[in-house]
Structure 1
Amino acid sequence: MSARPLIAVPVLLTGAAVAVSLGMLGTYYWPGTNPLPTWGFSGPEAFKAYLSSLVLLLICGQLLTAVWIYRWRAGRVVHLYHRLAGTVAFALSLPVAFYCLYTFGFRFGANAETRTIVHSIAGCVFYGAFASKMLTLRLRNTPGWLLPVLGGLVFGSFVLAWALASFWWFDNFGFGR
C-alpha cells in the first residue's frame, strides 16, 4: 500500500478538528447574548440572508470554474477568477459565520428545530471542509480524489446551510425586509 492515501488522514482530521471546534464555540454563546449591528437591515437574519446569498452566487461560479479547470484546459483567466471568487466568497462568509456563532449559537437539543440543528452542523462542516481543501491544495502527493471530494463537500454543505437559513428566511419573510 502506498503512502499516498495515508496523506488524506491528517487532512481530513484537520477539517474535523475545525468543524468540531466551531461547534463547541457555538455552544458557548447562546442566542441573543451578544447583539451585533444590523448594518441597515431589519435584523441579523436579514443581514445573513442577503450576504450568504451573495456568497452562494460566488461559490456557484466556483463550481463552474472548477469543473472547467478539471474537465478542459482552462486558461489563466479562469484560474484567476476561480481563486479570486473563492477568496471573496470565503471573506464574505466570515461575517455570516460570526453572526451565526455569536448571535444565534449552535442550536441542538430537545428544544431546537431539526432545521436549525442541521443548519448548524452544515455550517461547521463547511468550514472544516474548507480548511481541509485549502490544506490539500498545499500538499503534494495527495490522492487525486481528495480535492474534488472536499470541493464538493464545501459546496454542498454551504448550499445546505444556505437553504436551511437564507432560503427559509426569504420564503417566510420575503425579500423586502
Structure 2
Amino acid sequence: MSLLTDVVTVSRRNLIAVPVLLTGAAVSVALGMAGIHYWPGTQPLPTWGFSAPQIFKAYLSSAVGVLIIGQLLTAVWIYRFHAPKPVRIFHRLSGALAFLLSLPVAFYCLYSFGFQVGQGATSTRVMAHSIAGVVFYGAFASKMLTLRLKRTPGWLLPILGATVFTSFVLAWTLAAFWWFRTVGFAR
C-alpha cells in the first residue's frame, strides 16, 4: 500500500509542473507572435554611444552572459552544497541585474528585426536565434513561478534553470558571438 501512496503523491506533485510549463510556453508564444505581428519597427533606435544598435546589443548581451555564468555557478553552489546567505543574496541580485540588462537587448531584437521563423527568416541562424530568445523568456517566467510555488517537483527548478542558461547561451552565440567573429570588436 505504501508504494501506491508514493506513486499517487509523486503524480500529484508532478501535475503542478503542467501549469508552470504552460505559463512559460504562453510567454514564449506571446513574444513570438508580437515579434511577427507588431515588429520590426520603422523608427531608428538609440545606440547609447555605440556606432550601431547591433554593437550595443552584442556588448550588453555579453555583460548579461557574464552574469548568467555567475548565476550558473552560484545556483550549483546553492543547490548542491547549501551555500551561505551572501551567496544566495548575490545569486538573486545578479539574476535580477541579468534579467534587467537583457530587456533592452530583447526589445532591440524584436523591434529591429522581429521574430523571424519559417519563410520570413533571413537565415537559419537568425531563426534559431529568434526561437532561443523567446524560449529564454518563457523558461525564465516558468523558473520564477516555480520559485514562488510550494510543493513543485524537485526536478523542475534545475531543468528550468538549465533551459534558461542554455537558451541564453544559444541566443548569444548566434547573435553576439557571431557579430564579434564577423564584424569584430569595434565600438
Q: Work out whether 1:92 is the aligned partner of 2:83.
A: no
1:162 matched to which residue of 2?
Answer: 172
2:50 matched to which residue of 1?
Answer: 41
1:6 matched to which residue of 2?
Answer: 15
Higher Cα radius of gyration: 2
> Aligned partners of 2:13 and 2:38: how far apart in 1?
40
**Residues 66-105 of structure 1 aligned to structure 2 (within 5 Å):** 66-105=75-114
2:64 matched to which residue of 1?
Answer: 55
Question: Normalised by the size of structure 1, how large is the TM-score?
Answer: 0.97
2:3 matched to which residue of 1?
Answer: none
Which residue of 142, 145, 148 maps to 2:152?
A: 142
> Aligned partners of 2:135 and 2:160: how far apart in 1?
11
Q: Work out whether 1:174 is the aligned partner of 2:180.
A: no
Paired residues, number: 177
CA displacement at 1:124 relative to structure 2: 0.2
The CA RMSD over aligned residues, in Å, is: 1.1
Q: Tell me if structure 2 keeps the 8 A contact 1:34–1:102.
A: no
Question: Normalised by the size of structure 2, how large is the TM-score?
Answer: 0.92
> Aligned partners of 1:86 and 1:7: how far apart in 2?
24
> Aligned partners of 2:55 and 2:130: how far apart in 1?
17
Which residue of 33, 37, 58 maps to 1:28?
A: 37
> Aligned partners of 1:102 and 1:13: how far apart in 2?
25
CA displacement at 1:71 relative to structure 2: 1.3
Aligned-partner residue type, residue 6 of structure 1: L
CA displacement at 1:111 relative to structure 2: 5.0
> Aligned partners of 1:99 and 1:124: how far apart in 2?
13
> Aligned partners of 1:111 and 1:138: how far apart in 2?
38
CA displacement at 1:32 relative to structure 2: 5.1
Moved beyond 4 Å, runs of 4+: none
Aligned-partner residue type, residue 79 of structure 2: Y
